[in-house]
Amino acid sequence: MQDNLTPQEIVQELDQFVIGQKSAKRAVAVALRNRYRRLQLSGDMQEDITPKNLLMIGPTGVGKTEIARRLAKIVNAPFVKVEATKFTEVGYVGRDVESMVRDLVENAVHIEEENSFKDVRAEASKNADRRIVELLVPVPTDTQNKNNAADIQNMMNMLNQLQQGRTPDNLNQSSQKVPDDIKEKRMNVASKLAKGLLENDMVTIEMDDPKQNNSGNMMNQMGIDLGESLNGLMPKKKITRTVAVREAREILIREESDKLVNHGDLYHAAIQRAENTGIIFIDEIDKITGSGQNSSSDVSRQGVQRDILPIVEGSQVSTKYGLVDTSHILFIGSGAFHESKPSDLIAELQGRFPIRVELNDLTKEDFVKILTEPKNALVKQYIALIGTDNVKITFTIEAIERIAAIAEQVNHETENIGARRLHTILEHLLEDILFEGPSMEMGEVTITEKYVDDKIGSIAQNKDLSEFIL
């Protein structure tokens, strides 16, 4: 997606995925456009313009997270969602608030990798196919042993020449010799591979162990990458996998792409992207407000606010890719604020979220649109899922309206969980079909208003039942 979309275009994009909440969409669209506007100004002016951070207020399930997440996808911006409560009390131990910035940079690095890998994919694909051919037609063991012995001998000769002050004469020469019959077989296999005839053949490949990328998380949270430091001392752990050629090609293309890109430029671009276009979504920010009672938990919560404050204000955070300035990262706070209000936040933090947007409760009309309008709306999802069992299911408009009415009623009478209520209602409504469909081969099923009332109508009328079931 382009990054110079107008606010109207941004709202149009959001309308495809989020129903209603016009004021919230307008606010985030303006905030996003302001970032683009800032980058068009002189360097001195850019430094003085701070992002207009937002505070979204509304119950769960009304679209707060979805708006922020979709906003990031529209412009391909790095995005991180964190729970403010993660940093309180027990969760606060061993996880500092700066980790949200490091996670954002990791996301930015991933975006830059994908962009850079696209530029070198053609060359990487050729290298990957060459490796696949070598794996499908390996050199015989006895030849490999001879090659290994020749490699050792060449290494000893190089060391002797270096000790005598001479440049090794075979520095760039390879001792690996491939028999002529193997060469011919590889040419035939390469031809078949190019024609797409070997895509389903199985091949055993050696790849980096994904588990080693997760090691040292604690150090990574502090901006220290021990893996990078120890690369020269310890070889990377490898694992073997037997996969289809088409899957092996993608794995090897990624490895070859990683060899071809300039990581220094990549990491620099990632930091720039995180600083200028990154979005950090802090959910449940209302849970770290003080309740007015002098309890230890309240002290912990206020402490978290004061730890978050310098990051939101703008500070230097150390990451394994370099220092990151948080001054121009867009922060979006979110919370229901049922038991507290934005003014319960410390004054300094309040001032860093100048734009306040209240999201509305979802109505019956909103639920009808959520069920039917989005590209992969809930009703469409269930029709597709049940269709895999050769059961065709259809919903009448009256049935959809009744489902929407029940969702609105239950949200009003019990805990308001917004659109998430629809998931619970539909699962209970379609439970029999989902369970019996594969074995009964029912063919076609029409969900009518009467069907909805028979299944969940009585439950919705009973507050005690709906509280536990719906």
- pLDDT value for 439: 79
When pLDDT is cut at 50, 70 and 90, the band that residue 161 belongs to is low
Extract the tokens encoding 121.
């994919």
- pLDDT value for 438: 81
- Each residue of 369-398: pLDDT tens digit? 999 988 888 999 999 999 888 888 999 999
| β-pair partners for 79 | 279
Mean pLDDT of the chain: 83
Query: 144 in helix, strand or coil?
Result: helix
- Residue 329 or residue 140, greater confidence: 329
- pLDDT value for 170: 53
Q: Say how far apart CA 24 and CA 85 lie, in whole Å.
A: 24
When pLDDT is cut at 50, 70 and 90, the band that residue 467 belongs to is confident
pLDDT at 145 over 80: no
pLDDT at 94 over 50: no
The H-or-E segment that residue 282 falls in is strand 279-283
Which of 362, 363, 341 has the alpha carbon at shortest distance from 353?
341
- pLDDT value for 319: 92
To the nearest whole percent, how much of the chain has pLDDT over 90?
41
pLDDT at 111 over 90: yes
Q: Rg of the Cα trace of the chain?
A: 29
- Each residue of 178-193: pLDDT tens digit? 778 888 888 998 898 8
- pLDDT value for 401: 94
Nearest 5°: the CA angle 71, 75, 77 is: 80
- pLDDT value for 2: 62
Q: What is the mean pLDDT of residues 29-44?
A: 88
For 375, counting Cβ atoms within 10 Å of its Cβ (0-12 exposed, 13-18 middle, 19+ buried), the class is: exposed
Q: What is the mean pLDDT of residues 302-314?
A: 88
- pLDDT value for 121: 94
Q: What is the mean pLDDT of residues 115-131?
A: 93
Q: Domains plus CATH for the chain?
A: 7-116+268-358 (3.40.50.300), 119-265 (no CATH), 364-460 (1.10.8.60)
94-98, 234-238, 259-263 — most confident range? 259-263
Residue-wise DSSP of 182-239:
HHHHHHHHHHHHHTT-STT-EEEEEEE-GGGGGTTHHHHHTT--HHHHHTTTSPPPEE
